[in-house]
Structures are given as C-alpha cells and as structure tokens.
C-alpha cells in the first residue's frame, strides 16, 4: 500500500487532512477501476500521478471559487524566533507554487528521478530539473534570510 506516501505528499501540498484523504480515496478508486490496464509495477506511479492531477484540479477549483485559504504571510518587519528548521522549511515550501512544491516533495519524499517526476507532473525532464533547482534556491534563500535564521 502506498496510501501513506500519497497521503503525506498531498497533505503537505494542501495542508488539509480531509481534502488529502478525499484525494487519496479518489486516486485509489481510479486505480481499482483501471487496474486491469495497468502494469502492476506502475501502480505507485499511477497513484501519485492521479493524486497530483486531482490535487491540481482541486487547487484550481478552490482558487476559482475563492475558497482556498491563503497561506499566512510571514511578517518581514518582525524578527521571528524559530526553534525548528522544519517549521521554516515548511513555511518556505508553502510559498512555492504547487508545481515547484510537488517537484521538491516527489524528489525528497519519494526519491523519484527527474524522469519519474516528469511522468507524474506532465513536465519534461529539463523542466523538472529547472523547477527543482529554482525551488532549491528559493528554499535556501528563505532559510538563510535574516528573519529566519535560527
């Protein structure tokens, strides 16, 4: 079962447990519907692909309906005292767009190659690499910025 991995990936993106659970269930439902057409070794990739696209649709719908919760912006005026690097990184991840965030999470959580991430997200390998590099630079700059220095 890859349910936990998919769930963590979606939850990290949406930060809403209920929505993440719905998307995981939706992905598994599609998997069972199409399992005869699938190579058994591709089940995990299929799950992530389905979950990713369902999540993107979900985000777009919420954005369109105006119901998406804005990520609370960190004030640049006050120096925040962080005791946990993970918190800062989570905050930085939340500021990435969903494609860049997904590329980072698929790379870090699941260890997918550029090619595999490309299959999941519909990008080519070069795009994946560039998105990942740019996301890394952004995350690094966010972490080392004065207000986020631990």
Partner 1 sequence: MLYRMAINRHNYEIYFIDYHEGNLPPDREEELMAFLEANPDLKKEFDEYPEEPLLADQNIIFRNKKLLKKEESSPEFSENDQMAIAYLEGDLSADDKLRADSMLNEDDHVQQLHEQYLSTRSIADYSITCPDKAELKKKSNVAFLLPQYLRYAAAAAIIIFIGITAYFRFTPADEPRITSLPQRLETRPAGLIEFQADCLVLESRNDPPSSIQMSWREEGIPPVRLASIHPLAITPSPQGTYAAILFPRPFPVSGSDVFAMDTEVKQKSLVGKIFSGFFNKASAPFSIENKSNRAGKSDKLSIWDIADLGMQGINVLGDHDYTLVRKYNEDGNVKGVVVAGK
**Least distance between partner 1 and beta carbon 32 (Å):** 5
Nearer to partner 1, 61 or 145 (CB): 145
Cβ burial 24-63 (10 Å sphere, 16+ → b, else e): beebbebbeeeeeeeeeeeebbbbbbbbbebbbebbeeee
Terminal Cα-to-Cα distance of the chain (whole angstroms): 37
**Least distance between partner 1 and beta carbon 53 (Å):** 18
Nearer to partner 1, 60 or 85 (CB): 85
Nearer to partner 1, 60 or 113 (CB): 113
d(CA 96, CA 87): 15
**Least distance between partner 1 and beta carbon 115 (Å):** 13
d(CA 47, CA 28): 7
* Residue 94 in tokens: 């939340």
Residues that bind partner 1 (CB under 8 A): 1, 3-8, 11-12, 17, 21, 24-25, 28, 32, 35, 76, 85-86, 89, 92-93, 104-105, 107-109, 124, 126-127, 129-130, 132-134, 136-144
d(CA 145, CA 150): 10
**Least distance between partner 1 and beta carbon 65 (Å):** 20
């Amino acid at each position: 079962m890859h349910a936990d991995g998919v769930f963590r990936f979606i939850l990290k993106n949406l930060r809403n447990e209920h929505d993440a659970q719905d998307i995981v269930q939706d992905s598994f439902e599609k998997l069972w519907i199409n399992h005869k057409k699938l190579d058994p070794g591709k089940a995990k990739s299929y799950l992530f692909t389905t979950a990713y696209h369902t999540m993107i649709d979900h985000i777009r719908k919420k954005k369109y309906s105006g119901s998406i919760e804005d990520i609370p912006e960190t004030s640049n005026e006050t120096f925040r005292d962080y005791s946990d690097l993970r918190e800062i990184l989570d905050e930085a991840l939340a500021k990435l767009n969903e494609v860049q965030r997904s590329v980072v999470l698929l790379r870090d959580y699941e260890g997918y190659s550029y090619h595999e991430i490309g299959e999941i997200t519909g990008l080519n390998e070069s795009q994946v690499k560039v998105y990942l590099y740019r996301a890394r630079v952004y995350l690094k700059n966010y972490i080392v910025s004065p207000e986020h220095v631990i």
